[in-house]
């Protein structure tokens, strides 16, 4: 059994210790907002927060999150209000297909915690998630909008 906090709730799962966090979240805890993209932690579709840090979960073993706090896209908003990044995504109409967006939003939310007023260079350097639809100009606008929120 591996115990951790998921979206502010204590949980325990009985899964192999080497199972990737992504598959434990999706298949065992039904947190399907976290997406599979590449399987080698490059594209960012699987990004969640672990103890507040944006982390790609597809290649991370479940054993590494024991006792830690995990936040998925399902837990980012408060009960009655979207997270500023989620709202900026809506306001700027960022998604096309939307598949990569949960991971992108999680990456940006953690990024803005550390860099609340980023310039374009900081965004280019830090936001490395891949969007096949190429909505990068809208993503950049949404990041700047969320930073001002």
Q: At what angle are helices 136-148 and 101-114 packed, to 10 degrees?
A: 40
Q: What is the pLDDT of residues 107-126, one digit of tens each?
A: 999 999 999 999 999 999 99
Residue 38 pLDDT > 90: yes
Distances (CA, A) of 39 to 20, 59, 122: 9, 6, 26
Token pair for 47: 């990004």
Kindly give the residue spans of alpha helices, DSSP state H, lying in 7-118: 21-23, 84-91, 101-114
Q: What is the pLDDT of residues 8-36, one digit of tens each?
A: 999 999 999 999 999 999 999 999 999 99
The three-class DSSP label of residue 49 is: strand
User: Structure pTM?
Assistant: 0.96
Res 62: pLDDT: 98
Mean pLDDT, residues 45-52 taken together: 98
Residue 79 pLDDT > 90: no
Domains and CATH numbers, the chain: 2-75 (3.10.20.30), 84-148 (1.10.150.120)
Residues 6+ apart with CB under 8 A from 47: 34, 54, 55, 56, 57, 102, 103, 104, 106, 107, 129
131 near 100, Cβ under 8 Å? yes
DSSP β-ladder status, 9-13 and 69-71: unpaired
Mean pLDDT, residues 58-64 taken together: 98
């Amino acid at each position: 059994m591996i115990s951790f906090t998921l979206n502010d709730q204590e949980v325990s799962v009985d899964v192999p210790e080497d199972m990737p966090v992504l598959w434990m979240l999706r298949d065992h805890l039904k947190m399907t907002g976290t997406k599979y993209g590449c399987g080698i932690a490059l594209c960012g579709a699987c990004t969640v927060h672990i103890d507040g840090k944006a982390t790609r979960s597809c290649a991370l073993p479940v054993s590494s999150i024991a006792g830690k706090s995990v936040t998925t896209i399902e837990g980012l908003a408060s009960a009655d209000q979207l997270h500023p990044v989620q709202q900026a995504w809506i306001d700027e109409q960022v998604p096309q297909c939307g598949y990569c967006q949960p991971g992108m939003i999680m990456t940006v939310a953690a990024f803005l915690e550390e860099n609340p007023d980023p310039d374009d260079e900081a965004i280019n350097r830090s936001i490395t998630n891949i969007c096949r639809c190429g909505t990068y100009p809208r993503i950049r606008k949404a990041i700047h909008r969320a930073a001002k929120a």
